[in-house]
Amino acid sequence: MYCLNPIRWCAVAVSWGCLVCSAQSLRQEADHAEVLIGTAVRPSQLSEVNYASTLAREYNMIEAEDAMKWWVLRPDRASFDFRQGDELVRFAESHGMKVRGHCLVWGRYNPEWLTQGHFTTDQLSHLLHEHITNVMKHFSGQVFAWDVVNEALDENGNVRDSIWYNQPGIGISAKGTAYIEQVFRWAHEADPHALLFYNEAEGEGMSRKSDAVYAMVKDLRQRHVPIDGVGLQMHIPVDLDIEKRATELRANIARLTALGVHVHITELDVSVPIDTKGNSQAQDLKRQADVFRSIVRACLDNRGCTAIQTWGFTDKYSWIGSHSHGTRGDALPFDRTYAPKAAYRAILQELSAGRGSRELHTSP
């Protein structure tokens, strides 16, 4: 039973497994700043009281880290397993949170039965259309926005080789981004009320890749393809030029929202160097807070940037350690004991400063 109150002070019987909730939170400040503050979530951790209480208190939006990907939802060709996704939806509904869906189409982390099935292009087209339709209809009215296509472009802005594009693809690989257009149209048919996003990594600044994303979205919008937003992932290291990164991010958000689409920061984490014992340096955590601050501010400076989401919220469960082979970590606003870090306070301060100060902008 979920019985956490994310908004008001609450004292609930210990026998119910609930904690006392604090009055100040990221979600309260985000509500006042008219922006969504979210995080990626694993349903297996919801049974941990500190995890669930912090999540419910601090965030007004959640996204499935893995629970809505192909390899979880579709264990074999004949069946769908929605149990993990449904658990996240129930948690969100019981705590007044929105749910982002992630992700319908990606060239990576697909189940072996699919990648090794030697399907023809016609068969793959049918399987993909069927998957999008079944998943979106199942979560219709519960998931307000979907990452429809994830990481479809390479570092040079070219369409990335994948099972959906050209290996063997769904039959339209000769037409560049045509398969991306097709899946957006299928997604809109399945749930006309959901916001549909293209989500990309390493495309938040001004670069060849971000130029390609902009050009693709502009083309899709001009031809009335139902794309509503762009997700900027932002897995970034602390050792970067903060001012340059923030300036480029602000410019990129501005040109994307000028096309009439939303921008979401979707997978933000800021990794710092750690030693062999897993410890980071105080000066790196201070600089990390400055990076988080600059990114939140860049989003709040444009009313078309409507959500800020981190990839997890506690260092206890961050993917950064394993991904970096133990050389980087401590990338999130809460430490391993769920204590708020300087990064948390920086986000909170920027959200508080964002009350009533967001520049005039016609929302998408």
Would you please indicate which residues are annotated as catalytic (active-site) residues?
151, 267
Residue type, 168: P
CA distance 45 to 87: 11
| H/E segment holding residue 346 | helix 342-353
Residue located via tokens 């306070």: 345
Do the beta carbons of residue 305 and residue 265 sit within 8 Å?
Answer: yes
CA distance 257 to 46: 35
Long-range contacts of range 134-139, CB-CB < 8 Å, 24 or more positions apart?
Answer: 134/80, 135/68, 135/73, 135/80, 135/101, 135/104, 135/190, 136/101, 136/104, 136/187, 136/190, 136/191, 136/194, 137/190, 137/191, 138/80, 138/82, 138/85, 139/68, 139/85, 139/89, 139/99, 139/101, 139/191
**Start-to-end C-alpha separation, the chain:** 38
